[in-house]
Amino acid sequence: MSNLVRSASLTNYAEVAREAGLDPLALLADVGLNPACLHDPDLRIPSGAVRRLLETSANASAMDNFGLRMAETRLLSNLGVVALVAREEPTVRRVVRAMLRYSHLLNESVYAKLEEDEGVAVIREELILGHEGSSRQATELLVGVMFRTLKYFLGPDWSPTRVCFTHAAPRDPGLHIRLFGYVVAFGQDFNGLVCSTRDMDAPNPMADPVMARYARQILDATTASGRLDTIGSVRHILLVLLPSGECSIDQVAQQLGIDRRTVHRRLLRESTTFTEVVNTVRREMAVHYLEDGKRPLSQVAELLGFSALSAFSRWHKQQFGEVAGRRRRSDART
């Protein structure tokens, strides 16, 4: 079963496509999306189809910043009912936590997390791959929307310490610099924003605790009826844990708030095992990083949670039937 995303994710798509000389309806049809998703923001549509649509549109228009163009004019209201909670929270930290808590209602393919340490706040946003091919446009749209949301609460002059993307820099970084400033960085270890914890402490003058409580009740009722399955939850956690090298079943179980035997039991009910889920996520990430072609294999091994390049090489040959270096050379020739 594919992950779903609110059709509001395509806000501004038609306008950007037409400005680029594209036919948005024809492109929607090519990826199997109904034109109604351009007008009804609350339809649930396959996130994979949205990703393919954005990548196809970027290639057809020769605009490698297509997703960011869509994010440039996003409004808080585009988040739908999640905006009701976020708008009423008392501090920016609570705003961010509310958005992360309910992010799956907007896009089931996103893992988002707020980490704070020694005055630095990191808002990490990662897409669950589940496919081969680039997610550049979807990722830039995702991070761009979070950036626009924070500016809504922190003011038009606010700027993060850094805006991070794992992919390489575009041919022309002009739009990125205009939107984010000179703090944007490519080829990083994660996608997201880095800012000060003081930004997180900032009060929200629009907050209404009574309305916030009411909105949370609505969203919690929705969440209770549509939680991720165990496989989806484990995949979300692995995306964050793998680069740290600490991705054992015990650590995943701790993140889920259950014991390892319960993780095993629930995965067996879904006809899989922890090892199979880990290998699936690693295969998807390996294809993604090797297609990028700019990271040394030692760094790819580290990002996939391997302690040594030799261990990654053995795993890759076992999974794909060839060594990683040969696969990369083959991709480069195609």
Show pLDDT as tens, one digit a residue, over the chain (334 residues): 568 899 999 999 999 999 999 999 999 999 999 999 998 888 889 999 999 999 999 999 999 999 999 999 998 888 887 887 888 899 999 999 999 988 888 898 898 999 999 999 999 999 876 666 688 999 999 999 999 999 999 999 999 999 999 999 999 999 999 999 999 999 999 999 999 999 999 999 888 776 777 677 766 765 655 555 788 778 877 877 787 777 889 988 877 778 899 999 999 999 999 999 999 888 888 887 787 677 789 988 988 889 899 999 999 999 988 888 766 655 544 4
Query: Do residues 200 and 116 lie in contact, with contact meaning Cβ atoms separated by under 8 Å?
Result: yes
* Whole-structure pTM value: 0.78
Give the C-alpha separation, 174 to 292, whole Å: 21
Task: Please tell me whether residues 101 and 196 are part of one structural domain.
Answer: yes
Task: Please tell me whether residues 78 and 154 are part of one structural domain.
Answer: yes
Task: Please tell me whether residues 100 and 175 are part of one structural domain.
Answer: yes
The verdict on residue 88 lying in a domain is yes
Task: Please tell me whether residues 176 and 280 are part of one structural domain.
Answer: no
The tokens describing 279, both together, are 């290998």
Task: Please tell me whether residues 249 and 151 are part of one structural domain.
Answer: no
Task: Please tell me whether residues 162 and 277 are part of one structural domain.
Answer: no
Task: Please tell me whether residues 68 and 133 are part of one structural domain.
Answer: yes
Query: Do residues 31 and 46 lie in contact, with contact meaning Cβ atoms separated by under 8 Å?
Result: no
The verdict on residue 209 lying in a domain is no
The verdict on residue 71 lying in a domain is yes
The Cα-based distances of 220 to 79, 112, 199 in angstroms read: 16, 18, 27
Task: Please tell me whether residues 194 and 72 are part of one structural domain.
Answer: yes
pLDDT in tens, 186-202: 999 999 999 999 999 99
Task: Please tell me whether residues 70 and 142 are part of one structural domain.
Answer: yes
The verdict on residue 241 lying in a domain is yes
Task: Please tell me whether residues 73 and 196 are part of one structural domain.
Answer: yes
Structural domains of the chain, count? 2
The verdict on residue 159 lying in a domain is yes
Task: Please tell me whether residues 239 and 188 are part of one structural domain.
Answer: no
Range of the domain at 133: 64-201
Task: Please tell me whether residues 111 and 189 are part of one structural domain.
Answer: yes
CATH number for the domain including 284?
Answer: 1.10.10.60
The verdict on residue 319 lying in a domain is yes
The verdict on residue 155 lying in a domain is yes
The verdict on residue 213 lying in a domain is no
Q: Residue 332: what pLDDT?
A: 47
SS (H, E, C) the chain: CCCEEEHHHHCCHHHHHHHCCCCHHHHHHHCCCCHHHHCCCCCEEEHHHHHHHHHHHHHHHCCCCHHHHHHCCCCHHHHCHHHHHHHHCCEHHHHHHHHHHCHHHHECCEEEEEEEECCEEEEEEEECCCCCCCCHHHHHHHHHHHHHHHHHHHCCCCCCCEEECCCCCCCCCHHHHHHHCCCEECCCCCCEEEEEHHHHHCECCCCCHHHHHHHHHHHHHHHHCCCCCHHHHHHHHHHHHHHHCCCCHHHHHHHHCCCHHHHHHHHHHCCCCHHHHHHHHHHHHHHHHHHHCCCCHHHHHHHCCCCCHHHHHHHHHHHHCCCHHHHHHHHHHC
